[in-house]
Amino acid sequence: MTDNFKLLLGGRFDIANAEFKDLIAQTSDFKQTEAFSPRVGIVLPADSTDLTLRQL
């Protein structure tokens, strides 16, 4: 973008598996869940001359 701001683009893809067994009823079930989490942002490098941090 500029020398001070950077564009951040990314993502994460997760898969979760679970298997359930009922030993008494002699049944089982399998579940799989998938999810994508996007990540978008603007990054400004921290510089002590640009930012003043205050303790609340």
DSSP 1-56: --SS-EEEEEEEEEEEEEEEEETTTTEEEEEEEEEEEEEEEEE----TTT------
The average pLDDT across 12-19 equals: 97
What pLDDT sits at residue 49?
54
The average pLDDT across 14-33 equals: 96
Spatial CB neighbours of 20, under 8 Å, sequence gap ≥ 6: 28, 29, 30, 31
Q: In the numeric block, which tokens belong to residue 17?
A: 């598996």
Residue 3 has pLDDT above 90, yes or no: no
